Structure 1
Amino acid sequence: MCERPDIIRLRIHYFRTIKKKREEGYEPVYLDETWIPESHSARSLPGKGGRLIVLHAGSHRGFLPGCDLVFRSRSTDGRDCHTEMNSQVLTAYVEEQLLLALPDKSLVVMNNAPYHSCRDPINHCPTSNSTKGEICQWLDNNRIARPTKAKKN
């Protein structure tokens, strides 16, 4: 399987950074979320019924005590957990649970879900999922020149 060179470079950078931080005495703590069928049954039909959203953090030592967050999704229409797992839920989790349980010199590692990056909720940078109109509006609002006949590829 061929991989894009930019992805390979990013992966190499990630592994080098983790190695360097470990050598400096930091312990990586991994944070992620998922959902499971509320019935906990393998016979549950995908997309049917309630779901539980699960968020936890752990390291090579195991899960961090007191860092589990499990709540019932209100959605039953087949959407994934990202509709209810948002920056407000994550911020409260970090402030009320994760920060209290992190060992000294921890390095929190998480994926790039949109709600993991909420530096500026008012003026967030467009993503590849943004529409052309949203991108153009953001460029205009930030006084960034753009060609009048620009295309979104």
Structure 2
Amino acid sequence: MGTRLKKGISVNGQSREIIYNVYKYFSREAETFKYLFKELPNLKNLRLKLIEAINFKGSTVTLRKILRKMGFWYCKTRDNRKTLMEKHDVRLKRTKYLDKIKISRNEGSDIVYMDESYIHTNAGIKKPISKGQRLIIAHAGSENGFVPGALLVYKSTDTTGDYHKEMNSENYEKWVKNQLIPNLPTNSVLVVDNAPYHNKYTEKLPNSNTREQDMIDWLTTHNIPVDPNEAPLQYKHEHIQYSIDKILAEHGHSVLRLPPYHPDFNPIENIWAQLKQYVAQRNVDMTLTSVKNLLQEKVNMIGPEDWKKYMYQCECCLETFNIPNSVFGDSVVLNLLNGTESVPTA
């Protein structure tokens, strides 16, 4: 699904490429640009890079909105200029992911990537009158190929257009228990995105509206010191446990969550593209049965070599960020005042 922006501006099919190229621009060129031209890259130059890389069609206003949706925010520099900076929590989550996946590789763990997607029964028609019926797909794979027996395909019943609503935590956990876990290699690390059903808590967490005594009881249960001089919930994140993490841990596996806005860290995104292209080129009957059969047919054709190729591409993308932290620190900002448009307030 594309990222829907304010006033109807939609990134849609370009969203992944835009995100990837924005980050690639920061990591590979920001410091060089800064030293060569004695200024930070600005929004205008960033847009030119996107036009060159992916034939970006949006204006600087559109690009600014995309960046804000990606987790960038406006702040002031020491000389009182307004700049756009990546949010610290997004950068921190990416750094943690890079560290954890490196550790998992060094330990020899099998890293398994999973995701959900969809396909319509009229796939392949250039100008369909309607999108037709839709199938929801869930699967997982690694450098060894698809996880055997893990493919899940079922008919969509949702009419909102958001396929994520088709999968809830109950259905997802059922799939994990019955189809995924029995077929995972020992000591696997399952990489997932941040869909809500991947992040169901094992217990209800306290918040700012929780009664004081209930909050104290929760803190005491989790052996968190109650200090009247500190915000009691600041350590809450250290005690969060997700339902699927617990389920997988009971079977000797662990879960690693992708950082927000980094779909190119997941090789299964390219696998989905292969599957959909295959179906679109051969979809004659345009029925649920024929599309499902074509999906299964292509899944059987995609083997370890395909997965290794796309995992290598992800490794290259990861290497983009394995550079000194200074590149992604506070110094990497977009100087919007060097552009042609005024900067809105945060």
TMscore range, shorter length: 0.7 to 0.9
**In the TM superposition, what whole-angstrom CA distance separates every residue of 1:56-91 from its partner, at most 9, and x where no partner exists?**
00012211110000000012x342211111101101
Paired with 1:47 and 1:112, the residues of 2 have a C-alpha distance of 30
Aligned AA (2:102): K
Q: What is the aligned partner in structure 2 of residue 104 from structure 1? A: 186
Deviation at 1:39, TM superposition (A): 3.0
Paired with 1:52 and 1:12, the residues of 2 have a C-alpha distance of 35
Matched, 1:115 2:197: yes
Structure with the greater alpha carbon radius of gyration: 2
Deviation at 1:21, TM superposition (A): 1.1
Q: What is the aligned partner in structure 1 of residue 210 from structure 2? A: 141
Deviation at 1:119, TM superposition (A): 2.1
Paired with 1:46 and 1:18, the residues of 2 have a C-alpha distance of 44
Q: What is the aligned partner in structure 1 of residue 124 from structure 2? A: 41
Aligned AA (2:184): L
Deviation at 1:12, TM superposition (A): 2.2
Count of aligned pairs between the two proteins? 132
Deviation at 1:32, TM superposition (A): 0.4
**In the TM superposition, what whole-angstrom CA distance separates every residue of 1:92-140 from its partner, at most 9, and x where no partner exists?**
000101010000110011001111112247x367xxxxxxxxxxxx532
Within-5 A mapping of 1:1-150: 1=22, 4=86, 6=88, 7-43=90-126, 45=128, 48-75=131-158, 77-120=159-202, 123=204, 139-141=208-210, 143=212
Paired with 1:86 and 1:113, the residues of 2 have a C-alpha distance of 10
- Does the C-alpha gap of structure 1 residues 27 and 37 become closer, same or farther in structure 2, counting only changes over 3 Å? same
Deviation at 1:47, TM superposition (A): 7.2
Query: Which consecutive aligned stretches of 4+ in structure 1 deviate over 6 angstroms post-superposition?
Result: none
Structure with higher RCO (Cα < 8 A, 6+ apart): 2
- Does the C-alpha gap of structure 1 residues 42 and 26 become closer, same or farther in structure 2, counting only changes over 3 Å? farther
Match of 2:92, SS?
helix
Match of 2:208, SS?
helix
* CA contact 2:114–2:139 (8 Å) conserved in 1: yes
TM-score by length of 2: 0.35
Q: What is the aligned partner in structure 2 of residue 128 from structure 1? A: none
**Percent same amino acid at aligned positions?**
36
Cα-Cα RMSD: 2.7
Deviation at 1:42, TM superposition (A): 4.1
